[in-house]
Homo-oligomer: A and B are copies of this chain.
């Protein structure tokens, strides 16, 4: 594939990506999205499919070192020919430009597998029940995590705080935990994160909370934290990874899915909070999600 500087178009795009402007990046992403077919139409078609104007496409072609768009397209066809005639079309490789044994591919395998396993085992009823609980604004919600899971708790808290009021993030130092329990009321919710290297303190907190009539929602791993016995609902994720540690990727996925569901369920009430916040943060209008 010795065309141009001996780089594929995809590589050229990646190389120059940093020097591209906003509209050009949008275009670059669209072209890589369904690479290389997405680049084979007319310049107008490519522009429209990416939501940019045709001059932008022409300009980027130049920026990438081609004489113009038709030249870029010729390169694309040449690559395609090389690819197609090559019978070894490996689709079980995630990062196509890295070897199978590269950690990126091994890790991707593991994570994808974790996702599948987790989703196969999850109970939609428990998931829905958790969403319903968290959508009830009359219940205060306390969030706690352990040494590693603290980041997940933090992430959950930050987002949920946007959705609703009555959120409390419990500080890491377990000495202060009884103070939080003092404030808890029957009907409140304790969302706890505990994956292996389970932390005894969390189990104790759960027990205390339960004695005050608090409902425990637990995010844990496939084996289940000891706190699970106090939990009304446990959401288990697979956490295995080719590493000395466990992977939190799938747990984060479940967390995000729960948040998305709560957001949907409470949209009417949440909308205004979100809009206000949007306004506060949105200095540039570049990437606004709401209009």
- Interface positions of A (Cβ within 8 A of B): 14, 17-18, 22, 25-26, 29, 32-37, 40-41, 74, 77, 80-81, 84-88, 91-92, 94-98, 102-105, 107-108, 111-112, 115-117, 119-124, 127, 147-148, 150-152, 154-155, 158-159, 196-198, 200, 222-224, 228-229, 231, 234, 236, 241-245, 247-249, 252-253, 256-257, 259-261, 263-264, 274, 281-283, 287, 289-290
Contact = CB atoms under 8 A, between A and B. Distances in A.
Given A222-B29, A243-B256, A120 B107 contact: no
B14 A121 contact: yes
B120 A281 contact: no
A223 B51 CA distance: 14
B256 A241 contact: yes
Given A97-B123, A148-B159, 13 more contacts: A18-B228, A18-B234, A34-B85, A37-B80, A95-B119, A102-B124, A104-B122, A104-B127, A107-B257, A148-B155, A151-B151, A248-B252, A252-B252
B112 A96 contact: no
B248 A263 contact: no
Given A104-B127, A150-B154, A256-B249, A22 B223 contact: yes
Contacts of A229: 18
Contacts of A290: 244
Contacts of A236: 17
A124 B102 CA distance: 9
Given A94-B115, A249-B249, A81 B37 contact: yes
Contacts of A40: 40, 77, 80
22 contacts: A18-B231, A25-B224, A37-B80, A41-B74, A94-B115, A98-B124, A102-B124, A103-B261, A103-B264, A107-B256, A108-B115, A108-B253, A112-B115, A151-B152, A159-B245, A242-B260, A243-B259, A244-B289, A245-B256, A245-B263, A249-B249, A249-B253
